A and B are shown apart, each in its own frame.
Chain A
Amino acid sequence: MTSHRVSRGASYAALIFMTLVSLLPLMWVLNSSVRTEADIDAHPLGVTWPPHWSNYREAWTQARFSSYFLNSVVVAVATVGVVLLCTIPAAYAIAVVRVRYSRAVFYVILLGLMIPVWSIVIPLFYEMRSLGLINTRSGAVLIEAAVGLPFAVFMLRAALRDLPRDVVEAAVIDGAGHLRMLRSVVVPLCMPTIKALIVFEFMWSWNELVVPLFFLQTDSVRTLPIGLSFFQGRFGADPAIVAAGTSMAVLPVLAVYLALNRQFIDGITAGASK
């Protein structure tokens, strides 16, 4: 009986340890973001009281975080929109209508899951420059959407394949056209998958570094991660401001994750089993 208790205790200890490992770096940054540089230098692990909120104001205005933040929102929302607009009809054609050659198209798109972004970035950089799409948010959106497309097609096709065939056939017999079918059958029944995709594609775009690094090089269009890495170079001397900027980049994602935790975990588990 005692050995039982010991092993349970050890299990909880291990879980609490992992919880601390996962949280501590984050807590430390959040704490540093409301301190002053002098305090951090004197006592790296201490607490400054009262909190020094002005770091945030400085990051928001002087470090142009307001504009990075806005750009990130615009790019991420537009990327999610483009991905869904392209992939819902495509997955419908592949899995429900079974258009001719759609299987081949599906496998070619699936290959995109493996392709490193490095095999497209080099020529795209020169091409976008000559098209005048460099340093425009729409250029970055198109590339990020193309990169995010294979995963969305993969997930939606799997969800549509599992749709009860009777429902689809009944709708056909009732005279539903393609648009009607998409709107009244496909989209409502795939809603859980679509929601999970919204979360994933948003987060990928929000966290993306490589695409903005090449295609959003001016300060007015930079997104948060890329702005943050420049910001670190520029303000490298003041860890308190860097911490404030970092916290601003983390908190929105954290909020989305905590709010949609269920969809998130279910989405990953579902994706893995397909």
Chain B
Amino acid sequence: MTTVVQWNRSEAHAPPTGATTPARRARGALWGGRAGYFLLPAIALYGAFMVWPIGQTIWLSFTNWDGITGSPTWHGLDNYRRLVGDARFLHALEHNLEWVVGSWLAQGLGLLVAALLSAQWIRGRTFFRTVIFIPATMSLVVVGIVWDQIYDPNRGLLNTGLDGMGLHRLDHGWLADQHTAMPAVIATANWTYYGFAMVIFLGGLQSIDRSLYEAAAIDGCGPIRQFWYVAIPGLRNQITLLLLVSFINTLRTFDLVYVMTNGGPGRSTEVAAYYIYSLAFVTQQVGYGASVAVALTVVVLVVTVLFLRLREREA
């Protein structure tokens, strides 16, 4: 690890001209750092299918176009003016935020499972870990279809299960009711989230020095206080990482809504990505859809930068 730091330093502090000795050069960059063509395939692919389209999206966001006739016409800031007062967009973002907060439940569940699994006396650790991670490997389309059937009012697992327990009163058209649709979709998403959180936290817990727990035990801490005062601070990196990843993924989430509810009933489950989809590809407002996409991207980037700043300051 220290050597890596040194190389970086020698690079950063290298005098701008002349004074770089060949020896130092060789330590920082091999062959004088000439092999640019190795970067070309990646740059070409990334440039053509990421950078260029992003530029195009930004340009489209200043235009008006139905995507079918003629070509985009320049509209200046009109789309963005519309966006600021667009209640439907804000409403969609609110749903994204509910989703973010809802996903914390899965992170907590993942932490709990990881904590149980890292107890020294536990048997079948690999079995539990392997099985509990399975939902996280599944395609969201598959998950959406499966849970759509689970929520089915007549033959779904949930309602028949409730009936079996004599709880007929709780039977429900879970995805058809404005009030339960969003929680039902978020619960489905959480089903795919907790496995990932568990694995991340397990990795973190394994790297915590055992002697810290012993020291806490000697100081009279029980298992719960040991967890709170030793494990939680030791997991700070994992916690910020999970919060960041889940935030980014949740802001751009689309698949479950597309498969399960199409944003309905009403617009009660419409998220930002679904709004972009319906603008650009259903109601043919390509220019405005592009401006919503730009806004979403900016939100994601700002959140990421804030998170990383915070993380650096704490470290």
Contacts and interface: CB of A to CB of B under 8 A. Distances in A.
Interface of A: 7-8, 11, 14-15, 18-19, 21-26, 28-29, 32, 40-41, 44-45, 82, 85-87, 89-90, 92-94, 96-100, 102, 105, 108-109, 111-112, 114-127, 142-143, 145-147, 149-150, 153, 161-162, 165, 168-169, 172, 178, 203, 206-207, 209-210, 213-214, 224-226, 228-229, 232, 239, 242-243, 246, 249-250, 253-254, 257-258, 261, 264-265, 268-269, 272-273
Interface in B70-118: 109, 112-113, 116-117
A119 B57 CA distance: 6
Given A97-B33, A207-B141, A165 B3 contact: yes
Contacts of A99: 29, 33-36, 38-39
Contacts of B157: 24-25, 28, 44-45
A143 B223 CA distance: 49
A93 B155 contact: no
A246 B146 contact: yes
Interface of B: 3-4, 7, 11, 26-31, 33-36, 38-39, 41-43, 45-46, 48-51, 53-54, 56-57, 60, 67, 109, 112-113, 116-117, 119, 121-122, 128-135, 137-142, 144-150, 152, 154-157, 160-161, 164, 191, 194-196, 199-200, 202-204, 223, 237-238, 241, 248, 251-252, 254-255, 258-259, 273, 276-277, 280-281, 286, 289-290, 293-294, 296-297, 300-301, 304
A246 B35 CA distance: 47
Given A11-B122, A214-B281, A105 B50 contact: no
Given A207-B141, A232-B145, A98 B28 contact: yes
Contacts of B67: 126
A189 to B, nearest CB: 15
Contacts of A105: 39, 42-43
A145 to B, nearest CB: 6
Contacts of A269: 199-200, 202-203
7 contacts: A15-B117, A22-B133, A45-B157, A99-B39, A146-B45, A149-B50, A226-B141
A-side interface mostly: helix
Contacts of B277: 118
B54 A142 contact: no
B57 A123 contact: yes
Contacts of B296: 116, 118-119
Contacts of B34: 97, 99-100
A4 B116 CA distance: 14
A143 B49 contact: yes
Contacts of B148: 232
A161 B8 CA distance: 11
A272 to B, nearest CB: 5
A97 B30 contact: yes
Contact of B248 (A114, A149, A214): A114
B13 to A, nearest CB: 15
A22 B300 contact: no
Contacts of B140: 207, 209, 225
A124 to B, nearest CB: 5
B121 to A, nearest CB: 7
A239 B254 contact: no
A111 B305 CA distance: 11
Given A11-B119, A97-B38, A242-B149, 14 more contacts: A8-B121, A14-B116, A44-B160, A90-B39, A99-B33, A114-B301, A122-B60, A122-B286, A146-B48, A206-B139, A207-B138, A232-B259, A250-B142, A269-B200
Contacts of B45: 82, 86, 142, 145-146, 149
Contacts of A7: 223
A257 B50 contact: no
The 8 closest A-B pairs by CB, nearest first: A146-B49, A123-B56, A207-B139, A269-B203, A90-B42, A116-B252, A98-B29, A225-B141
A93 B139 contact: no
Contact of B35 (A18, A24, A93, A162): A93
Contacts of A118: 252, 254, 273, 276-277, 293, 296-297
A209 B255 contact: yes
Most chain B CB neighbours (cut-off 10 Å) among A153, A253, A268: A268
Contacts of B147: 25
Contacts of A249: 139, 141-142
A4 B191 CA distance: 31
A124 B53 contact: yes
A125 B53 CA distance: 10
B150 A28 contact: yes
B273 A29 contact: no
Contact of A23 (B28, B134, B280): B134
